[in-house]
Each structure stands twice: as C-alpha cells, then as structure tokens.
C-alpha cells in the first residue's frame, strides 16, 4: 500500500496528514516547529512504512526552512506545491470553499496521490550549489535594494539639491559611488555645498578612495556646487537635508551589503565543478555565472531536455492557439531571477561574442524583432547551449555555438 504525506506549513506549528492509495486518511498529527516536532513527524512516517530506501513522498507549500531540510535528508522526494495550485485542488474536495489547516494538509497529500507525475520534486542539488544559491540570490536582492534606495535619494535631491545630481552625473551610478556619498555626508544641503573649499572637497574624494584626476574633479565639483540653482527656504532646506542623511545611511548600508555578498560569491562560486563550464560562456563572469548556477542547480536530472530549461527561464516563446487564431508571445510564468540574469547575460554577450552579435543583428534586421525580443531569442539559444555543455561536461566553443554559414565562408575564401 502506497502512502502519501501532506504538510500544511505555518510559522509555529504544522498539520500533517497521511493518506493511502485509495485516498483514505490513515493518520494526522499537529506538530510544533522545533526539533521535538520534527522527531514526531519522522516517527509518524516510520510508523507507516517510511524507510531509508523507500521513503514516503511529502508535499508542502514551501521549499525553504529547517523542516524542509530535515525532510530532504536521504533520497526522499519533497514536492513544493505552489499555494495557488493547492487552492485549485481544494475546490475539488469542498464546494463551500471552507479552509482549515488539517484540510489543507489532506489536500496536499491527495495532490501527490492523484497527480504526483505532474509536479516536480525539489532538485537534488549539492550542498555547495545550494550555498551558492543562497549567496547569489542575497547579492541580487542587495543590488536591487541598493538601486531602490538610490532612486529614492535621487528623487529627494531633485526637490531641493539639483546641484548634487549635476555634480555626480559624470559618474556611472553616481549616487552609489563612495565619492558622492562622502560629499553628501559633508554637505547635506546646497548652501553648505557652495561653501566647501578646494581642500575640503579633495579630502572627501581621498577618503572615498579616489587616487586619480583629483584636481580636475575638485574644480568641476566646486564649480557645479557654486552654480546658479534655485533654493528652498532655509528651514525647509535643513529639514530636507536631515531626511537626505537618513536615506544616505540606508544607501551606505545597502552598498556595503552588496559588496560583502559579492565577495562571498567570488569565494564560493569558483569552487563548484560547473564553474569552469559556466564561465567559459561569453558574457558570464563570476556574479552572473553564480546567479545562473543558483537557479538551474547542478542536478543533471532536473530538466528532461533543453526545452524544459528554456521554458523555466522564460526564454522560449509560448504559442496560444484559439480556434482559427494563434498568437506567439513571451512567457509570463517563469523564474524571474533567471530571466533577469539572462537579459544581462545576452546584453554582455553582444560585445564578448562575434557570433552572438551577428545573431542579434540578424534577429533585428531580418526578422524585425525589437531589442528585448532579439535579446530574449539570443538568451534562448545560449541557455540551450549551456544545457548541452553541462550535460556533456564541455566548455563553450564559439565555432560550434555560432557556425559561419557556408556562403560566407566561400565569399571570404574568394
């Protein structure tokens, strides 16, 4: 008799339900989220036939946490069921749409009983790959948070301090630069900025780590700060300056977090066996390569073929036929992190790979694709190549990835 387990996850307690292959509820339990609760769960599973060689599959609505880590030991299959999918299954058992935690655990168990083949278990990634995933995603979140705070700071400066934006416009991502943050900390208002002397500005630039072109930068910044700009009333300007300093503290913390996590990724990613293959692809350096590995993992059986990986990344288009009409659009349901990384990867590959640039130009000119569609098509092709290389343990080969058409070879020979 086959047994299936469903767990309704919560912050402090969990509800567990076991059903057999006929859908009969054979056991249920309410456990706490601690080591005692985990032991009670494992004992309950063992009581109903759970062994190391033949474990009972488990369905749960999360893929993280200590409970999932405990369940994933050994060869057990753990299925992370999307809460929206579980809600659809719930309507099959109750038309009144009532909801309870024990009932949700029973629904999850029945999902495995009826449709386990339609759901994907958590990938069997190595511990190193999972550690890299934690660091890479955290670094990506820190980068997004840094940009969000920088946008808030830029919006505030537009209200009362346009001279700062003009002074830092020459630098890429100017507000996140240490020179900009040091100058804003020294002069939080345009009135104070106009009073800065050359030695004060030079000292701020040196504290930020700048070593070249200091004299020219000092003259340019001092000239901008002393330019003709409109001002808020003095009391309002000082209040906005205090608000700016508070945002500046958040931005400094976000920049520090992003840099520290980038160093952690730099240390961990090269130790993975797949790093050599991933880094051989044009456009992929350590940070982007780690993000790719974080989302696809190192479980070679996770995707049946390259088409599955392309769909998971949102790179391949989707066809929606309806009657006599058919539309081809981009995918909305996808791994957003991998899709975002793919956009950056394809953009960087344009300058790192002649074949990628030729492919992009052909999509723009011959097929009439817009920029985003052409880059998505390039990402679709390159992630398929990455799948092939990882499956066969080969490095990227430009000649095989983007072969030159025979007519161009003959023209070059002539």
Report pLDDT for 346. Answer: 95
| Residue 249, token pair as written in the block | 């503290």
pLDDT score recorded for residue 151: 95
Q: What is the mean pLDDT of residues 294-316?
A: 92
Query: Which tokens is 123 given?
Result: 């990938």
Q: Which two tokens stand for residue 78?
A: 């753990």
Euclidean distance between CA atoms 215 and 212, whole angstroms: 8
- pLDDT of 210 reads 86
Which residue, 380, 378, 389, is CA-closest to 349?
A: 378
User: What residues pair up with 30 in beta bridges, in sequence order?
Assistant: 15
Instruction: State the burial class of residue 177 (Cβ atoms within 10 Å of its Cβ: 0-12, 13-18, 19+).
Output: middle
Chain centre to alpha carbon of residue 315: 15
Query: What distance in Å separates the CA atoms of residue 57 and residue 67, rounded to the nearest whole number?
Result: 14
Q: Which residues are CB-neighbours of 205 under 8 A, at least 6 positions away? A: 179, 182, 183, 214, 217, 218
> What phi and psi, each to the nearest 5 degrees, are found at residue 122?
-60, 135
Return the percentage of the chain with pLDDT > 90, whole number: 72
CB 322 within 8 A of CB 413: no
CA atoms within 13 A on the CB side of 41: 28
Question: Per CATH, is 3-118 categorized as 3.30.420.40?
Answer: yes
Residues 350 and 359: their CA atoms lie apart, in Å, by: 9
- Contact between 252 and 371 (Cβ < 8 Å): no
The enclosing H or E element of 78 equals strand 78-80
State phi, psi for 3 to the nearest 5 degrees. -120, 140
Q: What is the pLDDT of residue 100?
A: 82
Lowest mean pLDDT among 136-150, 265-279, 392-406: 392-406
Q: What is the DSSP string of 365-405?
A: HTS---HHHHHHHHHHHHHHHHHHHHHHT----HHHHSPPP
Q: What pLDDT score was predicted for residue 170?
A: 84
Mean pLDDT within 218-228: 92
Q: How confident is the model at residue 99 (pLDDT cuts 50, 70, 90)?
A: confident
Nearby residues of 338 by Cβ (< 8 Å), 6 or more positions away: 291, 292, 295, 296, 312, 313, 314
pLDDT for 408: 62
HSE-CB for 190 with a 13 A CA cutoff: 26
* pLDDT at residue 414 tops 50: no
pLDDT of residue 88: 84
50-68 pLDDT, tens digit per residue, is 888 889 999 999 888 899 9
**C-alpha–C-alpha distance, residues 144 and 86, integer Å:** 30
Kindly tell me if the per-residue pLDDT of 213 is higher than 50: yes
Computed on alpha carbons and rounded to an integer, the radius of gyration of the chain in Å comes to 28
Task: Tell me how far apart the alpha carbons of residues 265 and 282 are, in angstroms, rounded to a whole number.
Answer: 19
Both structure tokens of 32:
């706490």
Domain boundaries, the chain: 3-118, 131-267, 275-409
Report residue 28: phi and psi, to 5°: -145, 150
- In this predicted structure, which of 92-106, 120-134, 173-187, 195-209 has the lowest mean pLDDT? 92-106
Q: Is residue 63 a contact partner of residue 122, using CB atoms and an 8 Å limit?
A: yes
Cα–Cα dist 237/189, whole Å: 7
Neighbours of 70 (CB within 10 A): 16
DSSP code per residue over 197-241: -HHHHHHHHHHTT--SSHHHHHHHHHHHHTS------HHHHHHHH
């Amino acid at each position: 008799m086959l047994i299936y387990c469903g767990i309704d996850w919560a912050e402090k307690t969990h509800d567990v339900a076991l059903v057999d292959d006929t859908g009969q509820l054979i056991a249920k339990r309410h456990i706490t989220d601690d080591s005692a609760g985990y032991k009670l769960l494992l004992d309950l599973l063992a009581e109903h036939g759970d062994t190391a060689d033949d474990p009972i599959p488990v369905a749960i609505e999360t893929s993280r946490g200590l409970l999932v880590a405990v369940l994933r030991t050994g060869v057990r299959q753990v299925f992370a069921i999307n809460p929206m999918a579980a809600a659809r299954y719930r309507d099959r058992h109750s038309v009144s749409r009532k909801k309870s935690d024990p009932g949700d655990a029973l629904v999850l168990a029945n999902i495995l009983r009826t449709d386990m083949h339609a759901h994907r278990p958590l990938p069997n990634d190595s511990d190193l790959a999972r550690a890299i995933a934690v660091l890479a995603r955290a670094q990506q979140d820190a980068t997004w948070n840094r940009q969000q705070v920088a946008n808030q700071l830029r919006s505030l400066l537009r209200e009362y301090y346009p001279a700062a934006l003009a002074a830092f416009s020459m630098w890429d991502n100017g507000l996140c630069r240490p020179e900009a943050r040091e100058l804003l900390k020294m002069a939080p208002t345009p009135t104070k900025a106009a009073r800065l002397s050359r030695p004060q500005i030079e000292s701020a630039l040196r504290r930020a780590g700048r070593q070249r072109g200091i004299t020219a930068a000092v003259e340019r910044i001092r000239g901008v700060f002393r330019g003709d700009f409109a001002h808020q009333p003095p009391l309002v300007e000082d209040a906005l300056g205090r608000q700016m300093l508070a945002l500046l503290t958040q931005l400094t913390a976000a920049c520090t977090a992003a840099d520290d996590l980038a160093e952690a990724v730099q240390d961990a990613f090269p130790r993975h066996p797949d790093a050599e293959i991933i880094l051989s692809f044009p456009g992929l350096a350590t940070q982007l390569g780690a993000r790719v590995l974080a989302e696809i993992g190192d479980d070679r059986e996770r995707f049946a073929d390259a088409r599955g990986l392309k769909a998971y990344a949102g790179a391949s288009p989707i066809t929606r036929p309806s009657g006599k009409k058919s539309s081809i659009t981009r995918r909305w349901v996808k791994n957003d992190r991998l899709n975002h990384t793919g956009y950056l990867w394809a953009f960087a590959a344009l300058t790192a790979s002649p074949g990628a640039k030729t492919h992009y130009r052909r999509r723009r000119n011959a097929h009439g694709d817009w920029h985003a569609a052409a880059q998505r098509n390039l990402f679709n092709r390159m992630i398929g190549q990455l799948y092939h290389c990882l499956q066969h343990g080969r490095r990227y080969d430009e000649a095989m990835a983007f072969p030159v058409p025979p007519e161009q070879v003959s023209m070059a020979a002539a």
